[in-house]
Amino acid sequence: MSELGFGLIGCGQMGRSLADSITKRGDSRLVAAADPVTEARQQAAQTYSALAFADYRDLLSHRDVQAVVVATPSHLHREVAVRAAEAGKHVFCEKPMALSVADCDAMIEAAGRAGAKLMVGHVLRLMFPWWRIKELAREGELGSPFCVSIRRAHPWTGGGWRARRELSGGPLFEVSVHELDFMRHLCGEVSQVSAYGGRFVQRDADYYDTYLISLRFRSGALGQLHGGTTTAGHFYDGRVICPEGTLAFGPEWGTATVQRPGGEPEPLRAEGRTGPIGVDWEIDSFARWVLRDEAPVVTAEDGRAAVQLAEAAYRSITEQCAVDIP
């Protein structure tokens, strides 16, 4: 296969961003786009010179589509990914992989049966400063992190399907799954999750609008995430403490510092990487995996693990207990 034909399933903002990355590649093209919303699919078809389908199942029957990007509402990920794999298509699925571990397992099993490749789009770890933090922290000169703390909260502006937990998982799945994935990416597998949460602002919501999640990693490292929604304002910052220094990011997006013992904080710079970052990086990796069998930068197992942590946090809050991760 010299050229990879993509089908886009879900033509919202994230779907279009992924489609932009596809069209930048010389060895890939967007063949078709599917969305039940007429305006969304027609706009995508016009922008990318692609065929338009109202029903994604019609897209799956197109012979020139070898791979699909699943950018539907989260509760549909399992159904679409399983059907795509059964149709013989390779699958790139936007995060969260699904809204339960059981759904993730069904997706992995379907891909395995069909011999299809399945990758999940956890883009945060592929953006600056987060990819650079990983280089210095776990794999580089600062040594393995032993404490990670992150705060991320903002007004919840998601309407429609994002406003219902059964469709989106709420902000814990829709947003904080990024940070859960990143913390595991830094510190390895988690052994225990303990969380507290409540509904303090959005009284009519059926999800927790504020939560504190503590993680104990198998390495002995500790992690904490403060996430959720607020009535006003926005904050996003974090600290990664290592034996040979501390990395800090925020409060401005894309800014970070490194402080070594006895020194002052210094701006962290994007040194060393010459390839794509962010969405371009994940699509590049997926295409290379399909076309050249190069190992993907994020795996389906990574996607499952992040969902497992979010699911465990919900259980810990609801049952008021710590949850062990097998």
Q: Digits of tens for pLDDT over the chain (326 positions)?
A: 689 999 999 999 999 999 999 999 999 999 999 999 999 999 999 999 999 999 999 999 999 999 999 999 999 999 999 999 999 999 999 999 999 999 999 999 999 999 999 999 999 999 999 999 999 997 789 999 999 999 999 887 556 887 788 989 999 999 999 999 999 999 999 999 999 999 988 777 788 999 999 999 999 999 999 999 877 788 999 999 999 999 999 999 999 999 999 999 999 999 888 899 999 999 999 999 999 999 999 999 999 999 999 999 999 999 999 999 99
Domains of the chain: total: 2
| Residue 35 falls inside a structural domain | yes
The Cβ of residue 45 has, within 10 Å, a number of other Cβ atoms equal to 20
pLDDT tens-digit profile of 240-253?
A: 999 999 999 999 99
Q: Do 257 and 215 fall into the same domain?
A: yes
What DSSP state is assigned to residue 36? S
What is the per-residue pLDDT for 158? Answer: 59
Alpha-carbon gap, residue 225 to 194, rounded angstroms: 11
> 148: domain CATH number?
3.30.360.10
Q: Do 74 and 158 fall into the same domain?
A: no
Q: Do 288 and 318 fall into the same domain?
A: no
Q: How far from 162 is each of 171, 175, 207, 210, CA to CA, in Å?
A: 8, 11, 11, 16
What is the per-residue pLDDT for 103? Answer: 98
Q: Tell me the whole-structure pTM to 2 decimals.
A: 0.96
Concatenating the DSSP letter of every residue in 158-225 gives --GGGGSHHHH-HHHHHTTHHHHHHHHHHH--EEEEEEEEE-SS-TT-SS-SEEEEEEEETTS-EEEE
Contact by Cβ (8 Å): 44, 70: no
Q: In DSSP terms, which residues pair with 237 in a beta bridge? A: 151
Q: Do 108 and 52 fall into the same domain?
A: yes
| Residue 176 falls inside a structural domain | yes
Cβ contacts of 242-249, under 8 Å, gap ≥ 24: 242/136, 242/137, 242/142, 242/143, 242/144, 242/145, 242/146, 243/142, 243/143, 243/144, 243/146, 244/141, 244/142, 244/143, 245/136, 245/142, 247/129, 247/133, 247/136, 247/137, 247/142, 249/129, 249/130, 249/133
Q: Do 101 and 155 fall into the same domain?
A: no
Q: How far from 317 is each of 181, 189, 192, 273, 324, CA to CA, in Å?
A: 19, 21, 13, 40, 14
Q: Do 82 and 184 fall into the same domain?
A: no
Q: Do 170 and 255 fall into the same domain?
A: yes
| Residue 200 falls inside a structural domain | yes
Q: In DSSP terms, which residues pair with 4 in a beta bridge? A: 28
Q: Do 204 and 283 fall into the same domain?
A: no
For residue 285, give its domain range.
4-121+277-297
Nearest to 249 by CA among 264, 259, 234, 260: 259
Q: Do 221 and 138 fall into the same domain?
A: yes
What is the per-residue pLDDT for 206? Answer: 86
> 60: domain CATH number?
3.40.50.720
| Residue 302 falls inside a structural domain | no
Contact by Cβ (8 Å): 145, 217: no
Q: How far from 148 is each of 36, 161, 201, 249, CA to CA, in Å?
A: 41, 32, 27, 11
What is the per-residue pLDDT for 162? Answer: 78
pLDDT tens-digit profile of 158-211?
A: 568 877 889 899 999 999 999 999 999 999 999 999 999 999 887 777 889 999
Q: Do 138 and 192 fall into the same domain?
A: yes
